Chain A
C-alpha cells in the first residue's frame, strides 16, 4: 500500500468551475499535509499546507482535512486555464523527518 494515493486523472473542468482534487494517506499518525502545484517540466511549488481538521482557505484555494477518514482535498474555485498543472499531495510521516508524495493528479482547465 502506498503511503499517499491520488487519482492520476486527468481531471477536466471548464473555466470558472470548481476543481476538486483528492488524496488519501495510510499512516493514521500523520500530522502535516501539503499541496504542491507542478507545471509540466518545472519543479513543484507549495500552494497550501494544513495541519488540523477542517478547512483552510487561501484566495481561490481551499484545503480540507479529515483525519478520521485519512483524507485531504484541495478545492480550486473559479478555475483558470493557468491552473492546468499536476497537483501533488504530500504528507509528513509521524516521525517528522520524511515527506511522502503522491504521484499527482493532472488538472486540465478548458477555456
Chain B
C-alpha cells in the first residue's frame, strides 16, 4: 500500500528533552513538509524539503530541526529550545508538477505532549 506513515502516534516529552518524529513515504513524492496544528487553529508550516539534502524554513522553524538524507524520509526533531511544543504534528508530501498543481497528502500525525 502506498502512503505516508508517521511514528509514534503519541509521544510524551519531559522538559529539556529532544525528541524525533518519524515521517516516511513510499509514494515517490519529491517534496515533504512538516506542519504543526494547535487546537482551533490552522496548520502552520515548520519546514519543507523539495529535494534530498536540501530543506527550507517555514513560518515557525525556531526550536525545530530536520534532515532529508533519503527521498522517502523527513524526520523532525523537536529540541528543548521549542518552548511550547505540545501540539499535533503532521507530515505531508507532494509531487512537484509545476504550475502550482501540487496536491499535498498527509500522514496520520503524531500528537506530542510535554509533561
Chain A residues close to B by CB (< 8 Å): 4, 8, 31-32, 34, 36, 42-46, 49, 51, 88, 90, 92, 96-99, 101-104
Q: Are A45 and B42 in contact (CB under 8 A)?
A: no
Complex interface bits, B71-113 against A, C-beta within 8 A gives 1, otherwise 0: 0000000000000000000100000001111111111110000
Does more than half of chain B's interface fall in helix, strand or loop, or is it mixed?
Answer: loop
Q: Does B19 contact A (CB under 8 A)?
A: no
Instruction: Report the nearest B residue to A91, measured CB to CB.
Output: B100
Instruction: Report the nearest A residue to B43, measured CB to CB.
Output: A101
If the complex has contacts A44-B90, A103-B40, are A92 and B109 also in contact, measured as CB distance less than 8 A?
no
If the complex has contacts A43-B106, A44-B106, A97-B50, are A31 and B42 also in contact, measured as CB distance less than 8 A?
no
Instruction: Report the nearest B residue to A32, measured CB to CB.
Output: B100
Chain B residues close to A by CB (< 8 Å): 33, 35, 40-43, 45, 48, 50, 56, 58, 90, 98-109
- Cα A46 to Cα B95 in complex, Å, equals 14
Contacts of B48 in A (CB 8 A): 97-98
- Cα A51 to Cα B101 in complex, Å, equals 8
If the complex has contacts A88-B42, A99-B45, are A43 and B99 also in contact, measured as CB distance less than 8 A?
no
Q: Are A88 and B100 in contact (CB under 8 A)?
A: no
Residue among B100, B101, B104, B108 making CB contact with A46, cutoff 8 Å: B104
If the complex has contacts A43-B107, A45-B106, A97-B48, are A102 and B42 also in contact, measured as CB distance less than 8 A?
yes
Max count, chain B CB within 10 A of own CB: residue among A45, A51, A103 = A103
Contacts of A46 in B (CB 8 A): 103-105
Nearest-neighbour CB distance to chain B for A104, whole angstroms, equals 6
Q: Are A101 and B102 in contact (CB under 8 A)?
A: no
